[in-house]
Amino acid sequence: MAQGMLGMLLSAMTWAGVFTLLLGPVLSDLFGIGSAVTLLLLIGMVATIMMVFGTFLDRTVKFWAAQALIGVVRNPFLIDRLYQKELLTIATEKIPELKALRSLSRDPRIVVELDGAIARLEAVVRNKRWDIRPGEETYDDSG
């Protein structure tokens, strides 16, 4: 993937350079624009086109969704890793919600279950790793 991106970048820069040589004299005569400004305009146009097309492929067509899923699913180092966004969500939202729910609950069975969930999430925040117990595996290796 990095080689493809590098190829795109070099192709875009070559395109901008060639068209700067071709359009530089014409734009200089018509508008008084120098070659450096022509090059910057062409690089800006290419960058804009690449960003719009890449955003379209990523957001609308979801072109890289399968590749991203495979990258996460098949990476053995990401199974129990806690992302920063998850850590902040657990610490600032989920644990306070569970504590508030625990304080409102009158059923002793629910209180015990909530105490276990709160303790587990506090350990997750403290260790910055998910505690994956047997039977809780999300991804199936037989695929």
pLDDT less than 70: residues of the chain? 1, 71-79, 137-143
- For residue 129, the SS3 value is strand
Task: Report how far Cα 108 is from the mean position of its chain's Cα atoms.
Answer: 42
Amino acid symbol at 130: W
- Look at residue 139 in the predicted model and tell me its pLDDT: 57
Task: Report how far Cα 131 is from the mean position of its chain's Cα atoms.
Answer: 24
Q: Are 77 and 54 in contact (CB under 8 A)?
A: no
Which uninterrupted H or E stretch holds 68? Answer: helix 65-73
- Look at residue 124 in the predicted model and tell me its pLDDT: 92
C-alpha dihedral, 87 to 89 to 93 to 98, nearest 10°: -60
- Look at residue 137 in the predicted model and tell me its pLDDT: 66
- Look at residue 142 in the predicted model and tell me its pLDDT: 46
Q: Are 113 and 102 in contact (CB under 8 A)?
A: no
- Look at residue 132 in the predicted model and tell me its pLDDT: 78
- For residue 75, the SS3 value is coil
- Look at residue 140 in the predicted model and tell me its pLDDT: 55
Q: What are 32's two structure tokens?
A: 């008084």
